[in-house]
Amino acid sequence: MALEDAKTQVDTAFTRTAHRGYSFENAFGGATSFLRRSYTKDLTGVDLAITGVPFDQAVSHRSGTRFGPRAIREASSLMPYDPPPGWGTDPLEDLNIIDYGDVAFDYANVPEFPETLTNHIRTILKAGAGTVVLGGDHYITWPILKAYAEKFGPVGVIHFDAHSDLWPDDNPARIDHGTMLYKAVKAGAVDPKRSVQIGIRTTTEDYLGVNVITAREAHEWGVARVVATVKDIVGDRPTYLTFDIDALDPAFAPGTGTPVWGGLASWQVAAMLRDLAGINLVGGDVVEVSPPYDTTGATAIAGAHVAYELICLYHWARTQR
């Protein structure tokens, strides 16, 4: 059936007639929506909206993550043919998942960007759907969390990263990808006691009560202990997962703005995300994919896999818990 469909399917991002099911068009052709889902702004009956935020004006070193959403979508064209391995569930068949496209914003008016993004996410949440966001630099998670906290109250956060993003910054007008979590915690959008960072390997003086599993600890503990610790911290309440691609070691994800050695391996991340099944995931993002610094496309491929795992976690939370 897949071979026969490949002969006739093309541009299923626009031509598919339902939000559910696989796509079998050639990976190297067609319109590259995420997992070949329908490109649409119609949120009627949608369970989960994939949306891009091509913003990188908050980076402290190498820019380029504005091209991340496009690259992740292209990389995902390798993946919409089969159920996700190891899950035993089938989100592409069970959920109405769309590609909502990118947020529209004035690149030259950076001060108005945060509220523009929050409104973008508010629109999706108000329609009853969740979001998986493709970044973009890590600042974007703060405006997203603001919208989620308005709906769910202070959320727990699972934060994969090399950096804590807890640089002190009490200027609400300042936009910096290193202050994302600081502002979210200080604003009360995030419950630090129910939040945990994984893969940290840079120095932070004050974690504001957020739990931390360093990269070295993750290596030494093993996947099972890390996952058990994370589940104990976040509990059963609404949880958001944000994944900075630099949580991975640069050997696995060189295409990022602030690479740090000693990071997680791709197999570790794959196992951790899979074994987090059962958390009450309400949304997530993958950020800091910077294609200009990786001519192989490996970083975008990793980002696409992370985003698919977020879909699986979201699906699991609604069908298996």
H-helix or E-strand spanning residue 240: strand 239-244
Segment 228-237 mean pLDDT: 98
Please tell me the least confidently modeled range out of 78-87, 217-226, 294-303.
Answer: 78-87
Q: Crossing angle of helices 68-75/298-319, nearest 10°?
A: 80
Contact 192, 176 (CB under 8 A): no
* Segment 260-280, tens digit of pLDDT: 999 999 999 999 999 999 999
Give the domain CATH number at 128. Answer: 3.40.800.10
Report the distance separating Cα 74 and Cα 35, nearest Å.
9
Rounded-to-integer distance, Cα 276 and Cα 63, Å: 31
Q: How would residue 6 be classed by pLDDT, with cut points 50, 70 and 90? A: confident
Q: Say if CB 102 and CB 51 are below 8 A apart.
A: yes
Integer angstrom CA distances of residue 312 from 170, 178, 284: 36, 28, 11
Indicate whether 2 pLDDT > 90: no
CB 143 within 8 A of CB 103: no
C-alpha of 303 from chain center: 8
Q: What is the pTM of this model?
A: 0.96
- Residue 232's closest CA among 195, 265, 267? 195
CA distance 161 to 124: 26
Instruction: Indicate the number of domains in the chain.
Output: 1
Domain carrying residue 258:
2-319
**What are phi and psi for residue 188, nearest 5 degrees?**
85, 10
